[in-house]
Amino acid sequence: MLEVPGFSYAGEFKGGQFHLLPGWSRKSGVYLWAKEGEPRDVIRVGIACGAGGLGGRFALHNRWLRGDFKADDPREQAVRRFTIEGLGDRAEVWAVVQRERPIAAELERLVRAYYGSRLRVDLSVPDSWIKGRMNDWRKSERPVFGD
């Protein structure tokens, strides 16, 4: 059960990739990444209101998680590595349909404000776990490539 009402189960993260349920790919809206358990541990919030909807957003996430996106950029690869670490072996995708970008952005803002630092892998949260990992990485000046 999620603490945020209105969201439906839309897919999962396993085997290093996201897999959306049929029917969610073409929809636009707000999505959450959550770790399994009761209650669900929400670790990231985002919106997908572009032409590709959730399918386009998660295709980009998968490309990025494989290391194909900005493969030569040390910062991107550090974020990628820490995101994979934060996701663990399995996570869930929850979503709510919202075609209007301003409304989706406001819902994203409200969910982010509600969960705050509990959003472990959300770089938009100043005191999130991943933001701390990135700050430590910057101070160490060590590139993070590969797995």
Strand residue runs (E) in 16-143 = 17-20, 29-35, 41-48, 90-97
- Report phi then psi at 107, rounded to 5: -65, -45
Give the C-alpha distances (Å, rounded to integers) separating 7 from 1, 16, 19, 72, 78: 10, 23, 17, 36, 30
The architecture in CATH of the region 8-140 reads 3-Layer(aba) Sandwich (3.40)
Locus of tokens 């994979």: 84
Q: What is the pLDDT along the chain (147 residues), one digit of tens a residue?
A: 667 788 999 999 999 999 999 999 999 999 999 997 767 889 999 999 988 899 999 998 998 898 888 888 888 888 899 999 999 899 999 999 999 999 999 999 999 999 998 999 999 999 999 999 999 998 886 655 554
Please report, for the chain, the start and end positions of each structural domain, with discontinuous segments joined by +. 8-140
